[in-house]
Amino acid sequence: MEKTFEEALNELEIIVKEMESGTIELDTAIEKYTEAMKLAKFCSEKLKTATDKVNKILTEQGELKDFEIEE
């Protein structure tokens, strides 16, 4: 099962706090950093997907169309 954005963000925050504490060993810090980068990428992709969806609207025919603000 894929993580939700909120779950990934929470895990990322926990890792950041652990690393900021300065109490973890170097090898563990490298592992945590690698995991944090994976989580950051996952969150970034989720946000981009959500932004793309928000920036589209359904046409009357049920097709997605780019949302444009008319001035």
pLDDT at 5: 94
- Structure tokens of 66? 């780019």
pTM of the full structure: 0.73
Neighbours of 66 (CB within 10 A): 8
Dist CA 9 CA 50 (whole Å): 15
Region of 51 please: left (phi>0), alpha (psi -120 to 50) or beta. alpha
pLDDT at 52: 82
pLDDT digits (tens, 9 = 90+) for 21-64: 989 999 999 999 999 999 999 999 999 998 888 777 766 666 76
Query: Cα–chain-centroid distance for residue 5?
Result: 6
Dist CA 4 CA 60 (whole Å): 31
pLDDT digits (tens, 9 = 90+) for 8-32: 999 999 999 999 998 999 999 999 9
